[in-house]
Amino acid sequence: MDPRTSLDPRYSDPKAAPLSWSDAAARLAAAEVYWLTTVRPDGRPHVTPLIAVWSEDALHFCTGPDERKARNLAENTSVVLTTGSATLGEGLDLVVEGEAARVTDEHVLRGLAEAYVEKYGPEWRFEVRDGAFVGDGGTALVFAVAPRTAFGFAKGEPFGQTRWRFRGAEEQA
């Protein structure tokens, strides 16, 4: 996955350089908490923190079928996932825009279930059944978000804003 990378000079120090996508993807994989933004059927945004795993060039998260985010995704699959630090003078914030696609392939789900345990520990162990995760909290639908457009906000010196556009993003911009 080789996106078109650019540094926005309006929001970047003259000494800044664009961040590589491989570095951003590694940071997405390492992050522990993400914020998911979905759109309610009436158009209002809904934001919630969650955990996710990076696999096969996409972020993967799960949610119960009756939760607000799952109900929103049934109407509108456009999402934004964010992660980063809560500090102003250092760190990197990442924003991923894309479409949430339901994952039902049981082989893929088994790999994702293993990735959750590897990243978050045994308390996040899921069984795979009927195209979903099943755990202590019941059934959880699994979604993949492959980036369409992503942004990296480098904070501190030098600060900068990198944008990555992936294949097909130009038509949807």
- Compute the average pLDDT of residues 79-96: 95
Please tell me the distance from the alpha carbon of residue 121 to that of residue 114, in angstroms, as a whole number: 10
Mean per-residue pLDDT, 79-91:
94
Q: Is the pLDDT of residue 165 over 50?
A: yes
pLDDT digits over 88-139, tens only?
999 999 999 999 999 999 999 999 999 999 999 999 999 999 999 999 999 9
Cβ contact 3:41 at 8 Å = no
pLDDT of the residue at 167: 84
pLDDT at 33: 98
pLDDT band at 149 (very low <50, low <70, confident <90, very high): very high
What's this model's pTM, rounded to 2 decimal places? Answer: 0.94
Give yes or no for residue 173 having a pLDDT over 50: no
Question: Above 80 in pLDDT, residue 1?
Answer: no
Spatial CA neighbour of 150 closest among 14, 48, 25, 49: 25
pLDDT at 22: 97
| Res. 170 pLDDT band, cuts 50 70 90 | low
Domains in the chain, please, with CATH? 4-166 (2.30.110.10)
Complete DSSP assignment for 17-67 = -PPPHHHHHHHHHH-S-EEEEEE-TTS-EEEEEE--EEETTEEEEEE-TTS
- Predicted confidence (pLDDT) per residue in 8-64, tens digit: 999 999 999 999 999 999 999 999 999 999 999 999 999 999 999 999 999 999 999
